[in-house]
Structure 1
């Protein structure tokens, strides 16, 4: 079995795979992550593991995984099943590489646009010949709320849980909610429409922590999924086992 560890900005996502099937999936706070991962290593016959981290190195976590499994630390030197045309590959986020890998695996020979709606919203495009071209990065919902609060004197700090479903806000709070949410929805639909003008057979994948909030409001047809990144990491692990 494979253990997948995605150490993000705020949380650690943990997944156990038996070949291509997810057996267990958790989102963990950093404070309890080590103990939870220890329990997982005890409960499942983990042979291989992979970690992708957007934060600083986690020495205690790395030592644990190295001791209990054959560990692959994802880096830009890892092997990937596509050609990378990004001009600064060493600056490309490891999470974006994993998402592109998942698209290659799940939608082979397709032009794919992967949209990851998290702290930031990332857009990544790979064509049907497995050439990755790049994409875009913009502020996510929480970042938009935080920016309005931080750079003004009177606007409150809102949370995503307070989202207003109406198009017109009739208070300062609901106006902020509508501006952030509908602004992001229109941005995403706009990106999709621009790509569709060049690639009619485009497959669009929406994932990330806010994908459920956004998916029901988008006008374009998409595949919405919550485990796309860990699937990509599992495929990378399999791809690198013999290299």
Structure 2
């Protein structure tokens, strides 16, 4: 699921004629208050993740980190108010950019880092990307912990398994958290 993919209104209307269809957007009823300054720009994937957080960790300050193409950080407080978050490039995107925007750096795949000091170009690139992502995530978690007591942290997305082994912070690793949130949205809207 990508928040940057669109379906034409004509196709959507045809589908709605054929079946009961719930379209996830900023107008969809959800079990949290959206305090994002630009709610119509909040991606459907991020909405679903926040719903998963509110559903699984009610009345908790929850930071949901989705480590996929991009790394998104979404925060919902103990009052079920979505305050916002952050977006940065994911692991693959970082490797792709090193290759694409330089003349001589190869395209690499992620690999566990044995030493933070790279002894050749490939080790240095891997260390830079992987350690950079790990330090970024741990750093963001620590920022939230300073401001919000009893923080619950959920790590999800395609790089969950890879990153969960390397993070210092205490987290819940849930690879399919987005699907859980989507299911909760369907149930929430059927009940209304």
Corresponding residue of 1:15: none
Q: Deviations over 1:61-97 (max 9, x none)?
A: 9867863x42211111100101111000000111011
Pairing of 1:1-243 with structure 2 (within 5 A): 7-8=1-2, 54-57=4-7, 67=18, 69-160=19-110, 162-243=111-192
Q: SS of the residue aligned with 1:73?
A: coil
Q: SS of the residue aligned with 1:214?
A: helix
The CA distance in 2 between the partners of 1:215 and 1:173, in whole Å, is 23
| Deviation of 1:174 (Å) | 1.3
Number of residues paired by the alignment?
191
Corresponding residue of 1:34: none
| TM-score, scaled relative to structure 1 | 0.73
The CA distance in 1 between the partners of 2:100 and 2:61, in whole Å, is 39
Q: SS of the residue aligned with 2:21?
A: strand
Flag the structure with more relative contact order, 1 or 2, with Cα contacts below 8 A and sequence separation at least 6: 2
Contact 2:15–2:21 (CA under 8 A) maintained in structure 1: no
| Deviation of 1:225 (Å) | 0.6
The CA distance in 2 between the partners of 1:230 and 1:87, in whole Å, is 26
| Deviation of 1:56 (Å) | 2.5
Q: SS of the residue aligned with 1:137?
A: strand
| Deviation of 1:54 (Å) | 3.5
Gaps of 5+ in 1: 1-6, 9-52
Gaps of 5+ in 2: none
Q: SS of the residue aligned with 1:178?
A: helix
